Amino acid sequence: DVKVTQSSRYLVKRTGEKVFLECVQDMDHENMFWYRQDPGLGLRLIYFSYDVKMKEKGDIPEGYSVSREKKERFSLILESASTNQTSMYLCASSPGQGVHGYTFGSGTRLTVV
């Protein structure tokens, strides 16, 4: 019944490594989003995409990039991981061209050491 799948539940990476976080949805949703969740800060938007090959910066894009080569897959890339990127990363998707509630993935807890 899982509709938004994040490839890893826990990851530990070293400072300076390139990190890929994968998200796949099977609901044929147009819109996909990456957020990071930190205590006391809620969910902050990193990047989002409304269509294949399309991407837009969110509120905190620095140090991140994304790729959306297929409609169902949205990847978050940490070009050179740093300790301040230790966080919970949540992927979400939503349907259509208007605004709708999200379906979230179960999250990836990334620790950068």
Partner 1 sequence: GENVEQHPSTLSVQEGDSAVIKCTYSDSASNYFPWYKQELGKRPQLIIDIRSNVGEKKDQRIAVTLNKTAKHFSLHITETQPEDSAVYFCAASLGSARQLTFGSGTQLTVLP
Which residues of the chain form contacts with partner 1 (CB under 8 A)? 4, 31, 33, 35, 40-45, 48, 50, 58-59, 90, 94, 97-107
Cα–Cα separations (whole angstroms), residue 107 to 36, 52, 86: 9, 22, 13
Which C-beta is closer to partner 1: that of 17 or that of 26?
Answer: 26
Kindly state the smallest distance separating residue 48's Cβ from partner 1, in Å.
Answer: 5
Kindly state the smallest distance separating residue 23's Cβ from partner 1, in Å.
Answer: 12
- 104: nearest Cα among 29, 10, 19: 29
Which C-beta is closer to partner 1: that of 85 or that of 108?
Answer: 108
- 55: nearest Cα among 68, 45, 43: 68
Cβ–Cβ < 8 Å for 69, 52: yes
Kindly state the smallest distance separating residue 14's Cβ from partner 1, in Å.
Answer: 26
Kindly state the smallest distance separating residue 4's Cβ from partner 1, in Å.
Answer: 8
Tokens 């991981």 identify what position? Answer: 81
Distance, C-alpha 62 to centroid of its chain: 14
